[in-house]
Amino acid sequence: MLGFRLVTAIVLLVVASACGSTPSSHGSTQSPGATPSEALFAVVEGRSGAAQPGTVAILGLDGKARATATFQPRVGPVIPDAYTPLQGVAQVVGSGVYYIDGAGVVRLLTAAGGPRVVATFPLQPAQEDTWFAVSPDGSNIVAGIVTFPALGPIIPGTGWNSLVGPTRFDLEAAQAGGQTKTLVHLEAPAGSEPTPLFPVGWTSAGSVVMVPQYLTSQNTWPGGPLYVIDAQGKQTQRLGGSDCTAASITANGYIPCTTAGGTGVSVRTQSGELVWTSRLDAFGAWRVLVSPDGQAVLNDGQVETHAGGLVAMPSGFRLQGWLNASTVVGRVQNENGDEGNLLWIDLAHPSTVHDLGLQADFVAKVS
């Protein structure tokens, strides 16, 4: 059976609420000067009955699609009595959105056309956790793939399946349109884990990977230290300082670091220089994102700016990302756990909510 490394600290995720109006599911409320310059952005949405997204689209602020594609949803791993943090299925690089399907095929969709296949990382139908990253010019793609053991018989006295077989990890790379090659292959017997390298971004320093502290958890998940890797998959430089753990990095090198033993977030540069310290928590590191200019940070329930502190968000608003350095995007979750329409909020006017009129999840702005 796979030996889980569980985090026992109890962390309370505080969701900020604001006085302001509750977001409406119809129309858009505008305020003078609040509309960002015309922008395109990518979203994903799920199919009926599917746990993972099966549609990707590029939209304008008018809510109309410029390009749309459907694909085979991926199947996340099933781990008894724990969860596995998953990277989003899509990411924006330059003027396009790259997305991975359930078979490990990475495609590119742009407003001008597509989709087209750029790489293939063959996956099993289940029990795999895959993270990938694309170089800024779109010429190279890397993927880190953990294959968890298969589900076995129910463990007597529990409702959990046993896990049968080893845990495997592969770091793979491909040039766009070219063959895939394996850079690193690791295999751990039942009861232990390999040390994976999960791609999380690409900066001027090169391809950036995270070495997760835990593959699965029952509680908080801090991500792990970030490293630059070379063309052979070898770690060459640690980013953010010796006590920084994270699960993301911006294209220009800002990192939302959680320091050892803590849950607070500090924004740092690649070299480890402190930019500022936030009061937000990092219950789930994959939900913590720094603004493009490094001067603000969000988790799924709160947003804080360096200059102005915490910004009150409407009740139930679940933050998903940055449209620009002063505009956040997300959805309202009601008391039943259902998600409403996609919304955007200008941080200068946080009580004014702009409804895009569709139910989808935000990926990122398309340049």
Encode 238-272: b = buried (16+ Cβ within 10 Å), e = exposed: ebbbeebbbbbbbeebbbbbbbeeebebbbbbbee
Q: Is the separation of the CB atoms in 362 and 354 below 8 Å?
A: no
Provide the pLDDT for residue 25.
33
Domain locations along the chain: 73-196
Q: Distance (Å, rounded) from C-alpha 103 to C-alpha 123?
A: 5
Provide the pLDDT for residue 262.
66
Task: Give the predicted TM-score (pTM) of the model.
Answer: 0.88
Provide the pLDDT for residue 39.
86
Provide the pLDDT for residue 172.
98
Provide the pLDDT for residue 24.
35
Q: Where are the beta strands (DSSP E) in 191-273?
A: 198-203, 206-210, 226-229, 235-239, 244-245, 255-259, 264-268
Residue with tokens 């599917």: 50
Give the SS3 label for residue 5: coil
Give the SS3 label for residue 307: coil
Q: Which residues of the chain have pLDDT under 50?
A: 1-34
Provide the pLDDT for residue 274.
96
Give the SS3 label for residue 74: coil
Phi, psi of 287, rounded to the nearest 5 degrees: -95, -5
Of the candidates 353, 294, 300, the residue with the CA atom closest to the CA atom of residue 325: 294
